[in-house]
Amino acid sequence: MVTPRILVPEKVSVDGLALLSEDYEVVSRPQGLSPEELLSLIPSFDALIVRSETKVTAEVLSAAGSRLRVVARAGVGVDNINVEAATAGGIIVVNSPAGNIVAAAEHTVALLLATARNVGRADRTTKEGRWERGKLVGVEVGRKTLGIVGLGKVGMKVARMCIGLGMKVIAFDPYANPDLARQTGVERLVPRLQDMLPEIDFMTIHTPLLASTLDLIGETEFKLMKPTARVLNVARGGVYNEAALLDALNKGIIAGAGLDVFTKEPPDESTPAWDLLRHEKVVATPHLGASTVEAQENVAVDVCTQVAAVLRGELPTSAVNAPLILPEEYRALKPYAKLIERMGGLYTQNFVSPPSSSVGVGARHFELVYHGDLAGVSNSRPLLAALIRGLVSPFSDTAGKHVNIVNAMAVAREKGIIIREVHAHSGAGSGKENSVYASSVTLRAVAAEDEQQDREKTESVNAGRQVIEGYVSANNIYISRLGRFSANFIPEGTLLILHNFDEPGKIGGVGSVLGRHGINIRFMQVASLDLERSKAGQDGTKGQERTQSDMIATNGNDDSQHAQPPVSEGSSKKKGDEALMILGVDGDITKQVMEDLRTAEGILNVSLVQL
């Protein structure tokens, strides 16, 4: 296996990179890369970690080809990444929305106090030898009104800090939780931005830069404010219209501004941003909102952890171009995602791909049934992605590693895979009313609607026979049913699954074959027929007697060339005299090993599964 490579073209905290260096090849270029250099290098990397200076354009993402799997932004905003192009290419974009919350909020408060007390001008003129106390009279912030646009994590933190300074806080955010805002101390949420502008003394914005927030505050909005109002921006340049802000300061429409971000950084000469930097009513800083030692360590550790998770085929916690996964959801879903991916791989390798199969392909239509507590999950897309990755991995040159929550459905459409999710809450019809597990999962292959009348096709897609069930216990994953057989094994490593007649001597015979070939058995389990399901018709047979051909085709493969002779009418072989042997093994399972096992007496079929 080629060691995944990670490109880091900016300075990123060594604490984060240390998490990657042991398992991955990390190429760090803290001095930066030119656009041409990035285009040249990116095709040979699996991951890219950037801050704010590197522009990850559609051209860069296209040049990366199919190898690049994740782009990580060590910070909050991702406006330097073409997220749409990344999504189209199946590339996950992650960021660190929580790593610099405290730093950004504290810098906002620092600019608020600096603008209120003219700290920037006072520092500069004093160092120039001037003592201008009379010209630098400021205002107190206590008992003043702060307006916050965007009451997210940073906005809420700013609100708490400023309430502690004795300020009254009102906010505009159409998606804010009114109860949480009230508990924080926010006096009220206004329905429209314009509603709060006439009464605020300070305004701070904490929103991403989107089409809806570009030039959010312009000439009209400034004219609604008090002439004593001051504005702050530690979010994204472009939220304030810079030309309108410059004009408002020059004309005395507002009293001052504290700016940490600009539309272009650093600003070009002869632009409004350039003039704002030098304006006597502006306190300007060079994008320092997240520039604390603690914040840089936090965001680096966060995004590097997520990059490692994506490269391992696991779930990121903050995928920008995928459904939000909250930390508690991540912890709950992670073991089930692993289980479902293994179930998909087990399905393909056991029911579809043994070399002796004359079927060659398996079902393309599936039901994925969530039982118990798992039935209440609201964000099941990571589980769907895990199933698709597991199903396609045995036939993928990348072992399915490029399948993720961003591109999983596109991969499914491309391969004709259709999955119906069923949330089987407790109650009639769930089939799990008496389950001892808090949550479990069933994967069931079903026939397509247009195949219902085609007996030849539906024989290979028997809903009762191609069934896998599993559960999680203490974060360990287990398979509890495989086809018509009850089981209880951990799906990992190299497995041999043998379908055989249930009679004495079979275990010893299989052990002898493996012993001759130097194959070590790590564990073995005999899985018996689930007779209760058979009687109830839940295995697809509706309770009728199985013929010998039924038994041979149990796993969806017509391996009649290796079947035992037909059972005579007076034979002791009858319904129920079957079993599965599930062996975890170490060693090289060659074609000869498989052939010797298949031809052993009483063995109906053998599958090699590698998970």
- List residues with catalytic annotation: 236, 265, 287
> 425-458 burial, b for 16+ CB within 10 Å, e for fewer?
eeeeebbbeebebebbbbbbbbbeeebeeeeeeb
Tokens describing residue 290: 């997240």
Structure tokens at 199: 């009464």
Nearest C-alpha neighbor of 230 from the set 119, 156, 126, 128:
119
CA atoms within 13 Å, Cβ hemisphere of 358: 10
* Cα diameter, the chain: 114
Q: What is the CA radius of gyration of the chain?
A: 32
From the number of C-beta atoms within 10 Å of its C-beta (0-12, 13-18, 19+), residue 502 rates as middle
3-class SS shares of the chain: helix, strand, coil, % to 5:
35, 20, 45
CA distance 154 to 206: 7
Q: What backbone torsions phi and psi does residue 366 show, to the nearest 5 degrees?
A: -135, 155
**How far is the C-alpha of 80 from the C-alpha of 35, rounded, in Å?**
13
- Written as six digits, the tokens of 158 are 């700013």
Angle between helices 591-598 and 506-516 (to 10 degrees): 160
266 upstream amide cis, omega within 30 of 0 = yes
Q: Are the C-beta atoms of residues 55 and 9 closer than 8 Å to each other?
A: no
CB hemisphere CA count around 240 (13 angstroms): 30
CA atoms within 13 A on the CB side of 24: 25
Q: Tell me, what DSSP letter sits at residue 217? A: B
Strands in 92-94's sheet, in edge-to-edge order, are: 25-28, 5-8, 47-50, 70-73, 92-94
Distances (CA, A) of 365 to 391, 414, 443, 461: 11, 13, 11, 9
Q: How many CB atoms lie within 10 A of CB 128?
A: 8
Residue 303: CB partners within 8 Å, gap ≥ 6? 16, 49, 72, 73, 74, 94, 95, 96, 99
CA-based angle 588:593:598, to the nearest 5?
A: 145
